[in-house]
Amino acid sequence: MARKNANDNPLAPVTVAVGQEDLLLDRAVQEVVAAARAADADTDVRDLTPDQLGPGTLAELTSPSLFAERKVVVVRNAQDLSADTVKDVKGYLGAPVEEITLVLLHAGGAKGKGLLDAARKVGAREVACPKMTKAADRLSFVRGEFRALGRSATPEACQALVDSIGSDLRELASAAAQLVADVEGTIDEAVVGRYYTGRAEASSFTVADRAVEGRAAEALEALRWSLATGVAPVMITSALAQGVRAIGKLSSARGGRPADLARELGMPPWKIDRVRQQMRGWTPDGVAVALRACAEADAGVKGGGDDPAYALEKAVVAVARAARLRRG
């Protein structure tokens, strides 16, 4: 989980979230926004990228208001700010405005380090959001997820979840939340096996495998069987997204032995070999199309649509078509 410094007040004048783990960065922002809205339900939130924050923009956003409204200003990819805008932000750090919380998201590398140093110098609250490249870190993350959700899971269950899902923190968090929602009592290895290495592997991952291989008819057949046997739709969208992302990662990676690529991409070696077989026919455009389809399906099965089954069928067909773009 994200690590914080001694100043743990989310409403500190300045928070810097440092690292490249998107889920943790997003959670750092959500924590500040939630605290601000708990203090004032009408808090104004401005979420900006470097291209939206030109010279003078920060001054406009933080100028005193007649109504003294609380405001949260989020600056993403702060390491990419222009030199003039960095000068503005540094000036603001020296005299932050009351009732305004500035949140800077910074990748933490050498680029833009001067801004990060300036924030630290004035005592900004800091949240560490590093990429979790070690299996032990991901295991600790899963344990923390179950604790945060108020449920207990055995060490074997946590390990089984990491082994089944892999290195994507969003997918690990989603899987933990799904188990907590569906299962009563302590979550053990048998429960994880039922969802992810038993029924789920035999169904949701079969759907994903057939779709990314361009075998639409077989993928639709597997999809209907999965839904008929009670597999949660969110498990199927997760498997589809994992399959497409794996192809995107491997297609953009340097060539090398499966063991080397496994370390680089956070996949087991056996999966490298499988994905290599599946990625034939894929193009970068195809990966982009398929990821959009997966995102739309995910929204559809989580309440954004009236018919989760239809949303899944659309996604399966879109992924299968994307897999065949190069084949014609």
Q: What is the pLDDT along the chain (328 residues), one digit of tens a residue?
A: 555 554 689 999 999 999 999 899 999 999 999 999 999 998 999 999 998 998 899 999 988 765 667 899 999 999 999 999 999 999 999 999 888 999 999 999 899 999 999 999 999 999 999 988 888 899 999 999 999 999 999 999 998 888 777 777 888 898 899 899 888 999 998 888 777 754 444 468 888 989 999 999 989 988 887 787 677 788 889 889 989 998 988 887 766 666 667 667 776 666 777 788 888 889 999 999 999 999 999 888 887 667 889 999 999 999 999 988 755 4
Q: What is the pLDDT of residue 232?
A: 79
Same domain, 81 and 154: no
Buried b (16+ CB within 10 A) or exposed e, 259-282: eebbeebbbeeebbebbeebbebb
Q: Would you call 199 helix, strand, or coil by DSSP?
A: helix
Asked if the structure places residue 102 within a domain, the reply is yes
In DSSP terms, which residues pair with 106 in a beta bridge?
A: 18
Q: Would you call 230 helix, strand, or coil by DSSP?
A: coil
Same domain, 20 and 61: yes
Same domain, 189 and 209: no
Same domain, 208 and 318: yes
Same domain, 319 and 217: yes
User: What distance, in Å, lies between the first and last C-alpha atoms of the chain?
Assistant: 45
Asked if the structure places residue 2 within a domain, the reply is no
Antiparallel, parallel or unpaired: β 3-4 and 125-128: antiparallel
Same domain, 152 and 223: no
Residue where a domain stops, chosen among 111, 129, 147: 129
Amino acid at 189: E
Q: What is the pLDDT of residue 260?
A: 67
- Alpha-helical regions (H) of the chain: 22-39, 57-61, 83-94, 113-121, 135-148, 155-165, 169-182, 189-192, 199-212, 216-228, 233-252, 258-265, 269-278, 284-299, 308-322
- The gap from C-alpha 255 to its chain's centroid, in whole angstroms, comes to 26
- Closest of 308, 153, 163, 295 to residue 232, by C-alpha: 308
Same domain, 188 and 167: yes
Asked if the structure places residue 174 within a domain, the reply is yes
Report the predicted TM-score, pTM, of the whole model to 2 decimal places. 0.59
Asked if the structure places residue 5 within a domain, the reply is no
Q: What is the pLDDT of residue 191?
A: 87
Q: Check if the beta carbon of residue 253 is closer than 8 Å to that of residue 247.
A: no
Residue where a domain stops, chosen among 171, 196, 221: 196
Same domain, 28 and 102: yes
Same domain, 318 and 227: yes
Same domain, 210 and 245: yes
Same domain, 66 and 107: yes
Report the CATH number that the domain containing residue 34 is assigned in CATH: 3.40.50.300
Asked if the structure places residue 328 within a domain, the reply is no
Query: Could you give the number of structural domains in the chain?
Result: 3
Q: Check if the beta carbon of residue 44 is closer than 8 Å to that of residue 69.
A: yes
Asked if the structure places residue 231 within a domain, the reply is yes
Report the CATH number that the domain containing residue 209 is assigned in CATH: 1.20.272.10
- CA 320, 323, 325, 328 dihedral sign is negative
Same domain, 227 and 264: yes
State the DSSP code for 78.
G
Q: Check if the beta carbon of residue 220 is closer than 8 Å to that of residue 313.
A: yes
Residue where a domain stops, chosen among 166, 196, 226: 196
Q: Domain range for residue 68?
A: 14-129
Asked if the structure places residue 91 within a domain, the reply is yes
Asked if the structure places residue 188 within a domain, the reply is yes
Q: Check if the beta carbon of residue 75 is closer than 8 Å to that of residue 61.
A: no
